[in-house]
Structure 1
Amino acid sequence: MKLSLVKKLTLGFLIAILGAILITSLVSNYMIDRRFNEYLHGEHQRKIDKVIELVNTIYDEKNGFQNKNDGELERVAVLEDLYIRVLDDQGSQVFSSGQDHLLHKKMMYAMPGRMMGMGWRKQLGEYIEESYPLKNNAKKIGTVIIGYFGQWNLTERDIGFKSTLNQAFGISATAALLFGVIVSIWFSRQITTPLVRITQTARIMGEGNLNVRANVNTNTLELDQLSKAMNYLAESLQQQEMLRKRLTTDMAHEIRTPLTTLKSHIEAFLDGIWTPTEDRFASCYEEVERLSKLVGNLQNLAKLEQANLQLNREEFSLSEEIQKMVEAMRPQFIKKNIEVSMKLDGDKNVFMDRDKVRQILINLLTNAYKYTNEGGFVRVELEERQEEIVIEIGDTGIGVGEKDLPHIFERFYRGDISRSRETGGTGIGLAITKALVEAHGGKIKVKSKIDVGTTFIMNFPKTAIELRG
């Protein structure tokens, strides 16, 4: 049987509270009982010593116990609930307080209508008599016999105190339990109420409504983080849904344009409007190449996203490879009057996939070429830091807007400013670049500002790209 979180938490708190109350009660009761019994033992011994001292004071060396003070002994016997009997050295009885007052005490505790009678009668105990020698100057002068009920001759005050103490423990435990129930229910609801709301939000999201948000007001850190994570998930899914719809539009646009051109050219050939020429066939070939490039990029991205992406690592100079790629593209930059600068920190040998590194560099340099206006500037830097190697490729191009920046590495995503056919690609190049960088254990990030420029920063840990001996 499955229980709700409220019931489980409440039950857990109650078990913990009951355990704490039980342990505290047992330990406290044991300690108090032990100290109280020590106190009773001391009081009982004090009574015995008081009786012996009193009997010794009424002894006379010449006349023995002839001048005994019967009234004083009787008063002590009644006051302390004792039976006192004094014998001389011959064993003859000198004094007896009688047991009437003790029998009266027993009958009082045996009365059925007496409050707590059964408990007190049980604590009263059995009748006990003890004998103590009487001495005068190390000479035995007699014996005193003291009788009482119970181990330590408990008085009504003593029994009442113990009973009150036990009642106090019972009342305290009950009050603590009730308080624990109230607190546990309140605390459980403080935890479960936000969870219920988050669960409801997740269920609504599962039904397709991505506009819902988990509006949870809680001071519990984990629940607040869970709520924010759920809201972030909803926003991400909503953005992904928007990207999916945008992807459909983009792909339709990318495919429709070359197909429309090809269709119009072929219809012109068939209708005899156009005479087949080399230039017109070249135009058709360019459109076919555009479609082929689009399909090829899709295939490359699918391969890169496979879990078993294989890297053909080899040792080479990263500085030389960057310089080669820049020089290979320099004619294009010169044609557009774009200045290119390189700052390479030393000749760093790495253990990476040379072809994949070239593809990363070509993609980023091509981006810089496309989105940098004539007369602009592109910089390429390689820097070796303590635990990593950093490659930066920056430009003074059109930049990327803040709303587009978080999605720049997502497949088929293109910012509004880069959607023209002349500059805008398929939206796959940066996704491929990111996959290749991460395949080498690195990370890529971007900084950009509209009309200022864009900088791509790649961080490769040395442990991931250095040659392992």
Structure 2
Amino acid sequence: MSFAGPDNLSRSSIFKVLLYFIACVALMFMLFTHQVFVSSETFYHKQLKRELNSETSTFSMLAATGNIENIRQSVANRSKQNNAFTYRISSASYSATSSSYPAVLSGNNVSVLNVTQPESIILLPNKEQLVIGINPELLQEYRDTVTPMLLTGIAIPVILMLAGATLFAVSILNKLSRVNQGMNRVIYGEKGVKLPVSRNDDEFDILAIHLNFLIEQVEKKENSLKSLSVGMAHDLRTPIARMKLRLESLLVTNNSPHQNELEACHDDLEILLGMFNGMLEIANLNSGKQNLEKEYVDLSKISQDVIEFLLPISDEKKQNLYLRQDAPYHLQGEPSLLFRAIYNLVENAIKYTPECGEIIVIVDNFGLVVTDNGYGVSDENKERIREPMFRVDRSRTHQGFGLGLSLVEAVIVCHGGELAFSDNNPGLRARLLLPPSY
């Protein structure tokens, strides 16, 4: 797919590294912002204390005049102005004062006590005291104003970094996804695959260019190897056929002292000739050189003919071989090739299913299925068993060259279909997925 979804992002090492980087940057930014907040609040406290000292000095000078009413009037006026300070006139407590403050002046003299504290106390001439304090709501208002600004200053950069990291990771994953898609097409045998190359000339374009060159070279080597194999099969078939005819002429005389050896050589040449003929036939089908004389075909009828032909072999192993028609299926095809394809599938099922096993040939709306309850095939070999000359270890105890399933796939592809394998638990399911029925 071209879009990197949540699952791909969660597995992406690029995205994880970006998240770790963002987490470290966000932590450092939070520590820096906290330090700025603490420093600004400390500075604001100092400013308020300076203003408190100034206010205390003003009222100290008023108290020095001895005019209590003037002081009370000033306190009332300042309280109405919603000042940054609170004012409270109360009876003086000398016992507490002497123990809490460093200096007390009696009489008409004025004492300013502990002005570095949030509250300042001024002793008045009439045995009362004026307490001036910083309005607590002012500090809370400062915090309510600054805190959202700082939180926003943290949240917005982190969100922007997360969005940028996600977009960056998605962009990288999309480019890698296109490369992986192209390579998957190559793995599944598609020819002529070209990875897209943009005009940016970045590292991904260089990677795509190198992979395109590699794919092209692999296809050239594969075509060269196939041509060599087909050429060898074609060239060797003629001398082998001549040797076979000579051996047959020698065997007809029936007076050779090496009769048994000649018969063994004749049988081996017969096998080699069959292998070369099979290779040439598969090559001709894959290349389209073999003309198909298609006609209206009933797949159930061909399957029944195959079963009747192979039934004696399955009876020898006491196997249950039968046809099940879930739906009729008709197509335009070459009857002899379809017969051979179905024959190879059923023969393989009989060969690799133990005694008293069951093989079912099913015709349905999608084509044909051959199921068995035999040994089965591992997942890593399901794609390889259709390759020419490939045989799983268990099959090496049986005679053959591994061309049967290759021929099946070549025949089905020529008819516009597909060969697929899956587990039957136990055993194997071989599906001939054909075009829609007529």
TM-score normalised by the shorter chain: which range applies? 0.3 to 0.5
TM-score by length of 1: 0.41
Rg (Cα) greater in structure:
1
TM-score by length of 2: 0.44
